[in-house]
Amino acid sequence: MCGIVGYTGGRSAAGVVVDGLRRLEYRGYDSAGVALIDDGELHQVKRAGKLANLESALDEAGLPESRCGIGHTRWATHGVPSDRNAHPHLSNDGRIALIHNGIIENFGQLRGELEADGVRFSSETDTEVAAQLLGREYAADGDLTKAMTRVCARLEGAFTLLAVAADDPHTVVGARRNSPLVVGIGDGEHFLASDVAAFIAHTTEAVELGQDQIVTITPEGIAVRGFDGSPSEGRRYSVDWDISAAEKGGYDTFMRKEINDQPAAVADTLRGRIDEAGQIVLDEVRMSDQDFRDIDKVFIIACGTSYHAGLVTKYAIEHWTRIPCEVELSSEFRYRDPVLDRSTLVVAISQSGETMDTLMALRHAKDQKARVLSISNTVGSTIPRESDAVLYTRAGIEVSVASTKAFLTQLAACYLVGLHLAQIRGIKYADEVGAVLTELVAVPDKIAAVIEHMEPVRKLAREAADFGRVLFIGRHVGYPVALEGALKLKELAYIHAEGFAAGELKHGPISLIEDGTPVIAIVPSPRGRSLLHDKIVSNIQEVKARGAKVIAVCEEGDDIARVHADDVITTPAAPTLLAPLLTAVPLQEFAVELATALGRDIDQPRNLAKSVTVE
Ligand code: F6R
| Confidence (pTM) | 0.82
Query: Average pLDDT for residues 94-103, to the nearest whole number?
Result: 94
Give distance in angstroms: CA of 305 to centre of ligand 1. Answer: 5
Top-confidence residue, 480 or 280: 480
- Is the distance from CB of 50 to CB of 26 less than 8 angstroms? no
Q: How confident is the model at residue 257 (pLDDT cuts 50, 70, 90)?
A: very high
* Cα(12)–Cα(185) distance, integer angstroms: 17
The pLDDT, as a whole number, for residue 130 is 97
Where would I find the beta strands (DSSP E) of 80-156? 89-90, 96-104
| Closest Cα to atom 9 of ligand 1 | 304
| Closest Cα to atom 11 of ligand 1 | 304
* Cα(305)–Cα(171) distance, integer angstroms: 39
Q: How confident is the model at residue 381 (pLDDT cuts 50, 70, 90)?
A: confident
CATH 3.40.1280.10 holds for 254-450: no
Superfamily (CATH) of domain 455-597: Glucose-6-phosphate isomerase like protein; domain 1 (3.40.50.10490)
CB of 24 within 6 A of ligand 1: the answer is no
Cross-strand bridge partners of residue 569: 553
The pLDDT, as a whole number, for residue 246 is 67
Q: Could you please report the per-residue DSSP string of 3-70?
A: EEEEEESSS-HHHHHHHHHHHHGGG--SEEEEEEEETTEEEEEEEESSHHHHHHHHHHHTPPP-SEEE
Give distance in angstroms: CA of 556 to centre of ligand 1. Answer: 31
| Closest Cα to atom 3 of ligand 1 | 304
* Cα(592)–Cα(493) distance, integer angstroms: 8
The pLDDT, as a whole number, for residue 245 is 67
Nearest atom in ligand 1 to 378's CA? 15
CB of 304 within 6 A of ligand 1: the answer is yes
Assess whether 248 carries a catalytic annotation.
Answer: no
Give distance in angstroms: CA of 486 to centre of ligand 1. Answer: 14
Indicate if the pLDDT at residue 529 is higher than 70: no
Query: Average pLDDT for residues 363-377, to the nearest whole number?
Result: 96
Instruction: Report the number of secondary-structure helices (H) and strands (E) in the chain.
Output: 19, 26
Dihedrals phi, psi of 71, to nearest 5 degrees = -150, 160
pLDDT in tens, 407-466: 999 999 999 999 999 988 888 777 888 889 899 999 999 999 999 999 999 999 999 999
- Is the distance from CB of 179 to CB of 158 less than 8 angstroms? yes
CB of 384 within 6 A of ligand 1: the answer is no
- Is the distance from CB of 79 to CB of 8 less than 8 angstroms? no
pLDDT in tens, 283-294: 888 889 999 999
Between the CA atoms of 63, 67, 73 and 76, what dihedral angle is there, to the nearest 10 degrees?
-80
| Closest Cα to atom 13 of ligand 1 | 350
* Cα(270)–Cα(513) distance, integer angstroms: 41
Nearest to 502 by CA among 468, 476, 484, 525: 476
Average pLDDT of the chain is 93
Same fold flag, 3-245 and 455-597: no
CB of 330 within 6 A of ligand 1: the answer is no
Question: Distance of CA 351 to CAs 130, 402, 403, 471, 495, Å?
Answer: 29, 12, 9, 26, 25
Where would I find the beta strands (DSSP E) of 93-197? 96-104, 157-165, 168-177, 182-185, 190-193
609: three-class secondary structure by DSSP: coil
Indicate if the pLDDT at residue 132 is higher than 70: yes
Give distance in angstroms: CA of 349 to centre of ligand 1. Answer: 9
- Is the distance from CB of 485 to CB of 520 less than 8 angstroms? yes
CB of 1 within 6 A of ligand 1: the answer is no
Largest CA distance in the chain: 79
Query: Average pLDDT for residues 146-169, to the nearest whole number?
Result: 95
CB of 588 within 6 A of ligand 1: the answer is no
* Cα(567)–Cα(551) distance, integer angstroms: 5
pLDDT in tens, 534-566: 999 999 999 999 999 999 999 999 999 999 999
327: three-class secondary structure by DSSP: strand
Indicate if the pLDDT at residue 174 is higher than 80: yes
The pLDDT, as a whole number, for residue 85 is 93
Amino acid at 514: E
CB of 306 within 6 A of ligand 1: the answer is yes
Q: Could you please report the per-residue DSSP string of 565-590?
A: SSEEEEE----GGGTHHHHHHHHHHH
Task: Looking at 453-547, list the stretches that DSSP marks H as alpha helix, in order from N- to C-terminal side.
Answer: 455-465, 478-493, 530-545
Nearest atom in ligand 1 to 402's CA? 7
- Is the distance from CB of 493 to CB of 591 less than 8 angstroms? yes
Top-confidence residue, 437 or 310: 310
CB of 303 within 6 A of ligand 1: the answer is yes
Fold of 3-245: Glutamine Phosphoribosylpyrophosphate, subunit 1, domain 1 (3.60.20)
Query: Euclidean distance between the first and final Cα of the chain, in Å?
Result: 11
pLDDT in tens, 466-519: 998 999 999 999 999 999 999 999 999 999 999 999 999 999 999 999 999 999
pLDDT in tens, 511-526: 999 999 999 999 999 9
Residue ranges covered by each domain of the chain? 3-245, 254-450, 455-597
The pLDDT, as a whole number, for residue 607 is 85
> Would strands 31-38 and 68-74 be described as parallel, antiparallel, or unpaired?
antiparallel
- Is the distance from CB of 354 to CB of 379 less than 8 angstroms? no
CB of 374 within 6 A of ligand 1: the answer is no
* Cα(476)–Cα(317) distance, integer angstroms: 13
Give distance in angstroms: CA of 511 to centre of ligand 1. Answer: 30
CB of 596 within 6 A of ligand 1: the answer is no
| Closest Cα to atom 6 of ligand 1 | 303
Question: Distance of CA 87 to CAs 242, 265, 421, Å?
Answer: 29, 35, 47
Indicate if the pLDDT at residue 173 is higher than 80: yes
Assess whether 610 carries a catalytic annotation.
Answer: yes
pLDDT in tens, 176-214: 997 889 999 999 999 999 988 899 999 999 998 988 999
Question: Distance of CA 101 to CAs 55, 158, 221, 510, 582, Å?
Answer: 21, 8, 24, 43, 36
- Candidates 257, 314, 490, 610; catalytic one: 610
Q: How confident is the model at residue 528 (pLDDT cuts 50, 70, 90)?
A: low
| Closest Cα to atom 16 of ligand 1 | 350
* Cα(569)–Cα(456) distance, integer angstroms: 8
Nearest atom in ligand 1 to 401's CA? 8
With pLDDT > 70 as the criterion, what percentage of the chain qualifies? Answer: 99
